[in-house]
Structures are given as C-alpha cells and as structure tokens.
Amino acid sequence: MAIKTIIEPFRIKSVEPIRQTTREERRRLLEAAGYNLFLIPSTDILIDLLTDSGTGAMSTEQWAAMMRGDESYAGSPSFTRFRDSVQAIFGFKHVIPTHQGRAAERILFSVMCKKGDVVPNNTHFDTTRANCEFVGAEAVDLPVPEASQPSLVHPFKGNMDTAKLAQLIERVGAKRVPLVMLTVTNNSGGGQPVSMANIRAVKEICARHAIPLYIDACRFAENSYFIKQREPGYAGKTPRAIAQEMFRHADGCTMSAKKDGMANIGGFLCTNDDAVAQHERDLLILTEGFPTYGGLAGRDLEAIAVGLNEALEEDYLNYRIVSTAYLGDHIAKEGVPIVQPPGGHAIYIDARAFLPHVAPTEFPGVALAGELYVEGGIRSVEIGTLMFGEHATMDLVRLAIPRRVYTQSHIDYVIEVILEVWKRREAIRGLVLTHQAPFLRHFTARFRPLAMAPARPATP
Ligand SMILES: Cc1ncc(COP(=O)(O)O)c(C=O)c1O
C-alpha cells in the first residue's frame, strides 16, 4: 500500500529556540502593546503566524549561494544570476531589483499613475492600495462575488470580476486606467487563487483597450500549484510551466521575494516596456540604488535566484498546500468559521462569524487575534476594518504560515489554542481605537477594551 502521510520535505540543520511565557505575562504584554500584536517583541511570541513574508527558512543551497554573493556596486555577477533566474520563469524583458515588494509598487505607480487615474485589481493588498492612493490614483477592488462569502467553497475565489472590469473601463474611459493588476494568490481575499482562464479573460479586456496587465506575483508558485490541482487541462503540467504561462499573459509584474522568492528580503519589478523601464530605473537610483542591486546586497540576489526555483518544486508545493489546509480543516471540523477553501499561505478565520456579538466598528479581528495571543502566545494579524477602514467587506484573522519553519506538532498546538478560544468566544469583547496613523494604520494603531470605554459609539 502506498504511504499516504505527507511529510515536511526537508530535515532541520539549525534550530532556533522559542520561548514560553505565562498567560499573565501575555495579558500584561498585550495591554502594554495597546492590543496591537505588531507592537509585541517577537521574543515574547511562541508561534509567529503574523506573516509568511520574509519569515521563511532558507535552504542549504540558498546559504551556499549567498557565499558567492558579489558585492560590487555595479555589474555584479550576482545580479546576472538573479536576472536570469527571474527571466527564466517570469519571461519579462526588464528586471529591476528592489528591496521589497512595496518599493516595486511605489516605483510602478509613480511612473504609470497620476491623480484622477483608476487602478482595478482583484483585491489590492494594503501596501498596493496605499502606494496607488499616494500618487492620487483610485484603487478599485473587483473580486468575483463568491469572494465575499467566506464559507462558500469555490476553486478560484481569487478571480477578478471581468464583467465589472469591462464596465469600469467603459464608465471611466480607458485613458484613466493606466494599468490593471491581478494579485496571485489574492492575499487580502483569503489567499485564494486566480485561474488561468481568468488571467486570460482579464488580459483580453485589457488588450481591447491597450491597457497593460500587471501581476502582483508574490505567491506565483502557490497560485500555479492551485491551477495544476484545480483547473482542467493543467494536471499534467509542471508548476514552472504554469507560472511561465501565467506571466506570458502579462505586461509586467511586481514581486515581493519575501514570499515565493523564499528569501528574507528582496523584490523586483518587471516590464516589457522599454520607456517605462528607463523611467523606473531613473527612480530606482534615487531611492533604492543602482539598477544591478536596487537596495539589495549581492548575497540577497543570490538567495532569491535559488529560492524562486525551490518554490516551484512539486514536493515542496504539495507539502506547503497540504499542511496549510491541515490547519484549516482541523479547526473548521470543530465549527470554527474560516474562509473556504483553505488558502495557500494562510488560514483566515472569519472574525465576524466567530464573534457575531462584536460589531465591525469594534474590531472583531483585532479582538480575536489578541485572545489567540493570550491563550497560547500565537501571533496572527487582522485583515479587516483596522487594515482597510471603510473598504473592509470582511473582518478576518489571518494565520500565515512561514515557509519551511514550523512542523506538524507546532500546527497541532495552534489548533488546540484556537479551539480553546472558540469554547469561550461569547466572553470576548470588542475594542476601541485610541490612536491611528494617517497611512497603513494597522501597524501602529492602539486600542483599549470596549468594556473600559466611555459610553459612546466606537469609530473605525
Ligand atoms: C499580495 C501582496 N502584495 C504586495 C506585498 C508587499 O510586499 P513587501 O512586504 O515585500 O513590501 C505583499 C506583502 O505581504 C503582499 O502580500
């Protein structure tokens, strides 16, 4: 009989101790952090599921490649290896390194957008929205209707609503739409994949209006694997071939290599347009660095060059997708409401359904994330009213799984903690916002528990 257990496809060479704290310590730490888990030192976290971004474990091949890093200011062979590795998968003519994804976004929007423009996306990630709005353009989310129903199972909930895209372009005029973006997988929409058919359909609409299509490619390998598993006609193709096909439909991309680049830092911006690339490189020099390093060390470029290929290995992707689903399936089985089906890099708990007695204006996602910390030292993140303000259609708590970091027993522990909090959910209170910054407020916001608030309505 064939062995069914799917194991971590690696063995551990170097270990990093994690520290237990008491419930009382965690209560105090949470209060001191203004109920914002971003403000708690990582040494006081037991299992850190805040993000899958830059938190992965590198392979022996990546560490070995880093030793080859050439730190020349200009023309480093590390850049050549990085560019060749990116081009072999992504296929774009110009590859511009940046220190992380948002730097690529800032440069892209500064070059392509101006005040009054409109940028459609399946769902803008927070930094994407912020960078788009910072140059005065309007960021419009056009997810398919299925995306707003957390419990609904659909293979490609990350898809863009193509009818709405066509209507939007018709309404505002193609001249005001400098680019269309597709985020694969759709992080803010539950880590859900975008199908190849949807990418093709979006491209067709863009092509009719001569609008370039850009892919926010952070989790391109996970998206490719979902296509292989779920889309007719792709089962026999490699994730690499699927990724190459995805990018053939696009005119450029932004990438945070902290996700499917398997690196701890880095990103890039790609385009096929010579004039746009020239303008982007001019801006790059201003804030990121010379175009052959773009704010990265030569060794970082080497780690990404190797990591992009490792992210496409089938054994790795199978383990990655199955182990994320393991967490989701185990808590869903006990009744915990999650975004279905489980995403690629994270499980998203539906905080509005978990805490129906806490209004969205009382930040159910922030309250739930705080309780998971108090119960078991787990750090997660709210994706909802705090992150998106009035644009929020859901209040989710994201449990993002760092790549190649935690074992199944860590995840079993996380399941136990969530189920303990689930048992006492009715006693959990909402929060009142006491401090917020003008941009990306979730990073620094502070709260106090609603019970201690004066008797007036909370504001988002
Ligand atoms: C979909 C998406 N786009 C863009 C970014 C921004 O990348 P970075 O954090 O490297 O700036 C992220 C990061 O989490 C993301 O998930």
Question: Mind giving me the DSSP string for 101-165?
Answer: HHHHHHHHHHHH--TT-EEEESS--HHHHHHHHHTT-EEEE-B-GGGG-TT---TTTT-B-HHHH
Buried b / exposed e along 50-71 (16+ C-beta atoms within 10 A): bbbbbbbbbbeebeebbeebbe
| CB-based contact 37:381 (threshold 8 Å) | yes
Q: 3-state DSSP: the chain helix, strand, coil percent, rounded to 5?
A: 45, 15, 40
Q: How far is the CA of 256 from the centre of ligand 1 (A)?
A: 6
| CB-based contact 50:381 (threshold 8 Å) | yes
Q: Which two tokens stand for residue 211?
A: 């609008």
Of 123, 187, 348, 403, the one to substitute when testing ligand 1's pocket (max ligand atoms within 8 A of C-beta) is: 187
Residue 66: alpha-carbon gap to chain centroid = 25
Q: How far is the CA of 219 from the centre of ligand 1 (A)?
A: 9
Q: Which two tokens stand for residue 299?
A: 């060794």
Buried b / exposed e along 263-286 (16+ C-beta atoms within 10 A): bbbbbbbbbebeebbebbbebbee
Residues 6+ apart with CB under 8 A from 235: 228, 229
Radius of gyration of the chain (CA): 22
Q: How far is the CA of 27 from the centre of ligand 1 (A)?
A: 30
Of 105, 256, 287, 296, the one to substitute when testing ligand 1's pocket (max ligand atoms within 8 A of C-beta) is: 256
User: In angstroms, what CA-CA distances link 107 with 40, 172, 345?
Assistant: 31, 24, 26
Residue 386: alpha-carbon gap to chain centroid = 17
Helices (H) and strands (E) in the chain, counts: 16, 14
What is residue 1's predicted lDDT score, i.e. its pLDDT? 63
Q: How far is the CA of 420 from the centre of ligand 1 (A)?
A: 31
Give nearest CA residue, ligand 1 atom 6: 101
Q: How far is the CA of 101 from the centre of ligand 1 (A)?
A: 5
Q: How far is the CA of 443 from the centre of ligand 1 (A)?
A: 14
Q: How far is the CA of 457 from the centre of ligand 1 (A)?
A: 33
Within 6 Å (CB) of ligand 1, which residues are found?
A: 53, 100-102, 125, 127-128, 183, 187, 216, 218, 256, 258, 267
| H or E element at residue 48 | strand 47-48
- The torsion region of residue 192 among left (phi > 0), alpha (psi -120 to 50) and beta comes to beta
Give nearest CA residue, ligand 1 atom 8: 101
Closest listed residue to residue 403, CA positions, set 268, 258, 299: 258
Give nearest CA residue, ligand 1 atom 7: 101
Pairwise CA distance, residues 397 & 420, whole Å = 16
Give nearest CA residue, ligand 1 atom 4: 101
Q: Do strands 138-141 and 118-121 pair parallel, antiparallel, or not at all (unpaired)?
A: parallel
Residue 213 DSSP class: E
Give nearest CA residue, ligand 1 atom 16: 187
Of 38, 52, 53, the one to substitute when testing ligand 1's pocket (max ligand atoms within 8 A of C-beta) is: 53
At 210, give phi and psi (nearest 5°).
55, 40
Q: How far is the CA of 452 from the centre of ligand 1 (A)?
A: 35
Q: How far is the CA of 218 from the centre of ligand 1 (A)?
A: 7
| CB-based contact 361:459 (threshold 8 Å) | yes
What is residue 453's predicted lDDT score, i.e. its pLDDT? 44
Q: How far is the CA of 257 from the centre of ligand 1 (A)?
A: 9
Single-letter amino acid, residue 28: R
What is residue 189's predicted lDDT score, i.e. its pLDDT? 78
| For the CA of 183, the nearest atom of ligand 1 | 1
| CB-based contact 96:269 (threshold 8 Å) | yes
Give nearest CA residue, ligand 1 atom 2: 125
| For the CA of 104, the nearest atom of ligand 1 | 11
Q: How far is the CA of 104 from the centre of ligand 1 (A)?
A: 10
Name the burial class of residue 39, with classes exposed (0-12), middle (13-18) and buried (19+) by CB atoms within 10 angstroms of its CB: middle
Of 99, 255, 259, 296, the one to substitute when testing ligand 1's pocket (max ligand atoms within 8 A of C-beta) is: 259
Q: Which two tokens stand for residue 128?
A: 């994407």
Residue for token digits 């960078």?
131
| H or E element at residue 47 | strand 47-48
Pairwise CA distance, residues 183 & 162, whole Å = 14
* 271 beta partners: 94, 252
Closest listed residue to residue 166, CA positions, set 208, 218, 133, 117: 208
Torsion of CA 236, 143, 53, 90, to 10 degrees: 50
What is residue 452's predicted lDDT score, i.e. its pLDDT? 46
SS3 17: coil
10-residue mean pLDDT profile of the chain (460 residues): values are 87 95 98 97 98 98 98 97 98 98 98 97 93 96 94 96 98 98 90 97 98 98 98 98 98 98 98 98 96 97 98 97 96 97 95 97 97 98 92 92 97 98 97 91 94 50
At 354, give phi and psi (nearest 5°).
-70, -40
pTM of the complete model: 0.94
What is residue 73's predicted lDDT score, i.e. its pLDDT? 96
What is residue 454's predicted lDDT score, i.e. its pLDDT? 46
| For the CA of 51, the nearest atom of ligand 1 | 14
